[in-house]
Structure 1
Amino acid sequence: MASLHYLPPVKPSAVALGTLFTHTTNLAVMAPLFGESYQKAMNADSKQEWIKSKEAAKTATLWGSNVIGSGAQTYAIAALLTQTGVLTYKGAAYVGALIFAATSVPTVVSQLFQERRPAEYIAIRATAGLIETVGLSVFLTWWGIRPAHDLLR
């Protein structure tokens, strides 16, 4: 059975702020979906009617899963930065770029050649992916990711 002591310690405030950073980036990409849901809520006869609707459940699920995913992504990137000993912005940008290459580039290539998505869509998704990886890595390095007790060693 795995033990939690194998997970690298990360400053809780870095995880909280990184989650907010990533969640905000994701919301910017998903804004059209939330805007559509907001319009349906405004057009509903009552707030209670909308709250009971499928759109409300879908929006709440999407929002909640986005927060959880943002938190997991933030911890994972912070843990990688900690384990690799990255202390500079340049190093953080390199690690973020490697994460982007491993997680987003295959999707971009697939969307470009196999799915034949519009270039604007691919550019927006790629930009969001860069912000979520490279931007988050640099942000976490700026904020500091090591807990105080690790700095004393």
Structure 2
Amino acid sequence: MATLQYLPPVKPSAIALGTVFNHAASLAVLGPLFGDTYRQAQAANSKEEFFKSKEAATAAASWGSSLVGSAIQAYGVGALINATGTLSYKGAAYLGSLIFMASAAPAIVSQIITEKRPLDTIAVGTVARVFETVGLSMFLTWWGTRTNPFD
């Protein structure tokens, strides 16, 4: 039987702010910065998933699952920061880069080689993923993730 004791603790405020950070990066920063290209990238990345999923019948359900996914991502990044003992921004940037390479890079390579999507759409999607990995790691390092700062 699996127990929760193996999951590293992460400060709840770090999870909450990390969730907000991901949504703010997507909506407030990347949307106006890249405009229609960003909206096209978001639609291209989520359209197939949206129509394949019976559970995503409404926009509210889609937004809610995105919010939960962002919270899980914030916890995961915070837990990795704690588990690796990352304390510096340089270390956070390296950790975020590794997370990016493990999670987003395969899909980006597939979009370039197999799907042959427009490069501007791929570039904007890549910038969004960098914000969600490297940016989130650095933001959480700044905020702090440890439940006990003396750990």
Is the TM-score greater than 0.5? yes
CA–CA separation in structure 2 for the residues paired with 1:61 and 1:26? 18
CA–CA separation in structure 1 for the residues paired with 2:8 and 2:16? 16
Distance 1:64 1:73, change over 3 A: same
Matched, 1:86 2:86: yes
Please list the CA deviations of residues 54-95 of structure 1 after superposition, one character each: whole Å capped at 9, or x if unmatched.
xx9521121101100000000000000100000000000000
Partner residue, 2:123? 123
Unaligned runs of 5+ in 1: 37-55
CA–CA separation in structure 1 for the residues paired with 2:64 and 2:98? 27
**Which letter does structure 2 place at the counterpart of 1:151?**
P
Unaligned runs of 5+ in 2: 44-55
TM-score when normalising by structure 1: 0.78
Please list the CA deviations of residues 91-144 of structure 1 after superposition, one character each: whole Å capped at 9, or x if unmatched.
000000000001111001000010000011100110000000000000000000
CA–CA separation in structure 2 for the residues paired with 1:2 and 1:26? 35
CA RMSD of aligned residues (A): 2.2
State the structure with more CA Rg: 1
Matched, 1:97 2:107: no
CA–CA separation in structure 2 for the residues paired with 1:23 and 1:111? 23
Aligned-partner SS, 1:101: helix
Give yes or no for contact 1:26–1:66 (8 Å, CA) kept in 2. Answer: no
Aligned-partner SS, 1:117: coil
Please list the CA deviations of residues 17-39 of structure 1 after superposition, one character each: whole Å capped at 9, or x if unmatched.
00111122344569748xx9xxx
Shift of 1:2: 1.0
Aligned pairs for 1:124-143 (under 5 A) are 124-143=124-143
Aligned-partner SS, 1:69: helix
Identical-pair percentage:
52
CA–CA separation in structure 2 for the residues paired with 1:126 and 1:84? 25
TM-score when normalising by structure 2: 0.79
Distance 1:96 1:58, change over 3 A: same
CA–CA separation in structure 2 for the residues paired with 1:58 and 1:119? 30
Give yes or no for contact 1:82–1:145 (8 Å, CA) kept in 2. Answer: yes
Q: After the TM superposition, which parts of structure 1 deviate over 4 Å for at least 4 consecutive aligned residues?
A: 28-31
